């Protein structure tokens, strides 16, 4: 018996090694995915890994709904297949003329209601959690324009700057096409941040998938959301509301820093974006190239 046990243990060792290697490789892939989770990937399947508690809860709720809808679809498909097999003309040449069944009618009314209630309760809780801003530590004001964003830090003496896309012909090494901007929004990590969103022209939408935050920028209205970024990193988003010919050129870039690094950035930013009080500044426009199909102005001889 001892000899057999030793042989069995010896045979299991390679299998355990393979399992260990496989788990290690899977962990490495997941870590790599998290490291580059702030941006969309080619052929990406599913959400970007969450960077806030809001997105954590949204992803978990999505997974539960996916299970529920898969079970419902499988159940309905099974019923259809069974009905086609059991009650076809060959197996059931004399069909029943039954038109009502009290038990079945009660079931197909009550069961869907119970399913919807079981979905609605956590859904309302999640909506309330996303909506309330509990004890914010700082405020960011986001203003949407055609076609760029303006960011203001009301808690920092009204520090304000514009964020424009980097044109494709001006991209530097490492910068991302249609995602990088000249002045990203910089915030501290592990901080409850109130985000106020408004607009100056048409409706825009400030949307960052990794945060689970999407707020409409509407003229004359101040919408509000919040975020608490779990760890430092660079995160990307885009305007999620069709807002004109250059809608595709309104990216959002957020850099989350440790709190100490953010304080150092504030000192430099207040110098870089210091306001002029002589009212001689030119009108700000979005740094967007004309679309390829844009029609130029007619000449004087036309």
Asked if residue 111 has pLDDT above 80, the reply is yes
pLDDT of residue 129: 94
* Res. 116 pLDDT band, cuts 50 70 90: very high
The pTM score is: 0.74
DSSP-assigned beta bridge partners for residue 238: 207, 251
pLDDT of residue 218: 95
% of the chain beyond a pLDDT of 70: 78
> Which CA distances in Å does 131 have to 127, 146, 215, 223, 240?
6, 27, 11, 10, 19
CA atoms in the 13 A half-sphere facing the CB of 300: 0
pLDDT of residue 251: 95
pLDDT of residue 207: 95
Q: What is the chain's percent helix, strand, coil content, to nearest 5?
A: 40, 20, 40
pLDDT tens track for 78-108 = 999 999 998 888 888 888 787 888 898 999 9
pLDDT tens track for 4-29 = 334 344 444 444 454 444 444 444 44
Asked if residue 55 has pLDDT above 90, the reply is yes
pLDDT tens track for 57-78 = 999 999 999 999 999 999 999 9
> Which CA distances in Å does 69 have to 72, 106, 115, 125?
5, 21, 10, 20
User: Count of CB atoms within 10 A of residue 235's CB?
Assistant: 24
Asked if residue 282 has pLDDT above 70, the reply is no
244: left (phi over 0), alpha (psi -120 to 50) or beta: left
């Amino acid at each position: 018996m001892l000899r057999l046990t030793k042989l069995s243990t010896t045979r299991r060792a390679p299998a355990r090694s393979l399992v260990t290697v496989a788990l290690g490789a899977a962990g490495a892939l997941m870590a790599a995915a998290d490291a580059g989770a702030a941006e969309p990937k080619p052929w990406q399947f599913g959400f970007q890994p969450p960077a806030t508690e809001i997105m954590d809860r949204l992803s978990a709720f999505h997974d539960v709904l996916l299970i529920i809808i898969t079970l419902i679809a499988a159940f309905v498909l099974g019923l259809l297949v069974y009905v086609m097999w059991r009650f076809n003309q060959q197996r059931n040449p004399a069909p029943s003329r039954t038109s009502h069944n009290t038990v079945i009618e009660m079931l197909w009314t009550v069961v869907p209601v119970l399913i919807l209630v079981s979905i609605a309760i956590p859904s309302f809780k999640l909506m309330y959690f996303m909506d309330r801003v509990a004890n914010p530590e700082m405020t960011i004001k986001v203003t949407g324009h055609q076609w760029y964003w303006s960011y203001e830090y009301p808690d920092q003496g009204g520090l304000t700057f514009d964020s424009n896309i980097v044109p494709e012909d001006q991209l530097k090494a490492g910068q991302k096409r249609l995602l990088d901007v000249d002045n990203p929004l910089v915030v501290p990590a592990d901080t409850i941040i109130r985000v106020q969103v408004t607009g100056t022209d048409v409706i825009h939408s400030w949307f960052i998938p990794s945060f689970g935050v999407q707020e409409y920028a509407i003229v004359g209205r101040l919408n509000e959301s919040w975020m608490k970024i779990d760890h430092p990193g660079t995160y990307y988003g885009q305007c999620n509301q069709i807002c004109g010919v250059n809608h595709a050129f309104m990216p959002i870039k957020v850099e989350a820093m440790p709190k100490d690094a953010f304080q150092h950035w504030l000192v430099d930013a207040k110098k870089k974006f210091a306001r002029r009080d002589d009212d001689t500044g030119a009108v700000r426009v979005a740094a967007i190239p004309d679309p390829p199909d844009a029609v130029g102005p007619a000449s004087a001889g036309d």
